[in-house]
Homo-oligomer: A and B are copies of this chain.
Amino acid sequence: MILFNNDYSEGAHPRVLQKLAETNLEQTEGYGADRYCRQAAELIKARCRRPDADVHFLVGGTQTNLTVISACLRPHQGVIAADTGHISTHESGAIEATGHKVLALPGDGGKLTAAQIEAVVKAHYQDAAREHTVQPKLVYISNPTELGTIYTKQELTDIHRVCRDSGLILYMDGARLGFALTADGNDLDLPAIADLCDVFYIGGTKNGALFGEALVITNPALKEDFRYIIKQKGGLLAKGRLLGLQFIALFEEDIYFETARQANRLAGIIKNACLRKGYELLVDAPTNQQFPILPDRVLEKLGEHYGYTWWQRVDKDRSAVRFCTGWATKPEDVEKLAEDILRL
């Protein structure tokens, strides 16, 4: 059985384990105040060309999302997000548990547009009884989205402009950011994202780390007392250096981007097999997540040898599913899957 269910089925890239082993008996300060976290933060700030940024390391994505949103908002403020956004659907109400409403808008392949956001804000401030409704204050986008699509530089610039003009905070969930930045058609890079977003994170868990997300705060107004909030939400890892070490492993050379590029390439092989066979795609995505629409009888057959994630029923005979590649995906396994798709 070969699992294509997700990008966190294996442990970590060998360089990550090696770093942990090499430094295992060293003594360091706790809670992220150690030299490795500092070094990793410097690496990331250099990549973003933002020496002024604050970098924090957290263990997981839901934790990062709820910590950022809770830190940024006053009680009456809410988050604009796509209806397919992770915080809208798959975090068990984590954002609401911190007191804030998620204002879900219909996504286009998982993406929001500047025009949508502008319309929501305008409607809010035109309402004479606006204090009876939740005030939109933060925009949450994922890049790539939960459907594998990516934002172009123009799209992100437009969203940035609306946010700036309306006093909204722009937050990018980069749980799979490596896959976006190495995708065909991408024209964004870390410095551009650091300029256009107030805060964003570079995901490690889904791209080669055992766990870990590197949060980058560029808006000075959002930096104050951030470590208190991380601690309060249970996200301050005692042996914080484990996070720093992993990001050093991924970023001191180019592992983070190399593995992502390779995973995108392998995902493309699966996509092409589906297209050649005449299967439609739920959404046309250039990254490591592919959402083909397959006949149920084919899925049953494939399910004997391959793991995938069932996504949604499309019609009575067909379902959309997700195939996911990652840093550990073996090219030969992908070739075999592609052949079986074409054959069945």
Q: Which residues of A contact B (CB under 8 A)?
A: 1-3, 5-6, 8-12, 14, 17, 20-21, 23-31, 59-67, 70-71, 74-76, 78, 89-94, 96-102, 129-135, 205-206, 210-211, 225, 227-239, 242, 307, 328
Bound together, the chains give a CA A173 to CA B202 distance in angstroms of 33
| Contact pick for A242, options B63, B129, B210, CB 8 Å | B210
Given contact pairs A59-B59, A75-B229, a sample of 15 additional A-B residue pairs in the complex whose CB atoms are under 8 Å apart: A2-B27, A10-B24, A17-B20, A31-B132, A63-B235, A74-B229, A75-B232, A76-B92, A76-B225, A76-B229, A76-B231, A78-B96, A92-B131, A96-B99, A211-B239
Query: Which secondary structure characterizes the binding site on chain A?
Result: loop
Task: Assess whether A96 is in contact with B90, with CB atoms less than 8 Å apart.
Answer: no
Q: Are B211 and A242 in contact (CB under 8 A)?
A: yes
Contact in complex: B239, A205 (CB < 8 Å): yes
Selected contact of A234 from candidates B5, B100, B235, CB within 8 Å: B235
Min C-beta distance of A271 to chain B, whole Å: 21
Given A11-B20, A133-B89, are A60 and B237 also a contact pair (CB < 8 Å)?
yes
Report whether A75 and B66 are in contact in the complex, using a CB–CB cutoff of 8 Å: no
Tell whether, in the assembled complex, residue A239 and residue B8 are in contact, meaning their CB atoms are under 8 Å apart. yes
Cβ-defined contact, A62 with B206, below 8 A: no
- Report chain B residues within 8 Å CB of A98: 75, 97, 99
Q: Which of the residues B90, B100, B328 comes within 8 Å of A93, measured between beta carbons? A: B100
Q: Can you sample 28 A-B contacts with CB below 8 Å?
A: A8-B30, A8-B239, A9-B27, A9-B28, A9-B30, A10-B24, A11-B23, A21-B21, A25-B328, A27-B307, A60-B236, A60-B237, A70-B75, A75-B232, A76-B229, A91-B132, A92-B131, A92-B134, A93-B134, A97-B232, A101-B102, A131-B225, A131-B230, A135-B228, A205-B238, A210-B242, A211-B242, A233-B234
Complex: A328 Cα to B26 Cα, angstroms: 10
